[in-house]
Structure 1
Amino acid sequence: MTESFETTAPHRRVRVWFGAHPIADHTTAADQAAQYEEAMRRRFASLRVTSEPVLVTAMSAPEMSR
């Protein structure tokens, strides 16, 4: 039996949205993501800016050895 689960990585995904369409998509380390998010909020003041943790799937030990 193999198990997998999701954990958050020390990275974040920052996106700038024009309606339902992302016009900028950037993934980086958490500290740099905060700076990028702040810059995008200034640059695109009227658009929605989101910052989400990046999810990674971790596999159990038997799968990783394949």
Structure 2
Amino acid sequence: MTETLETPATHRRVRVWFGAHPIADHTTSVEQAGQYEEAMRRRFASLRVTSEPVLVGMAEQ
């Protein structure tokens, strides 16, 4: 999923991964996503944490 100029992301999806399996999946506003991502990186220091844009209309799904 890519972010375009026409449809800016209003939310981000933050996930914590154990190998190929997400063990935490949280969608939140762009403002709160940064704080949540930092907290997950501290709590799960050895696991991969990703943050991806969620396009307008996709956040409710």
TM-score (norm 1): 0.71
The aligned residue for residue 48 of structure 1 is 48
Structure 1 segments (4+ residues) deviating >6 Å: none
Unaligned runs of 5+ in 2: 1-5
Partner residue in 2 for 1:35:
35
Q: Which 5+ residue runs of structure 1 have no aligned equivalent?
A: 1-5, 58-66
Q: When the two structures are aligned, how many residues end up with a matched partner?
A: 52
More helix by share: 1
Point out the structure with max Rg over C-alpha.
1
Whose strand fraction is larger, Structure 1's or Structure 2's? 1
Counting aligned pairs with the same residue, the percent is 87
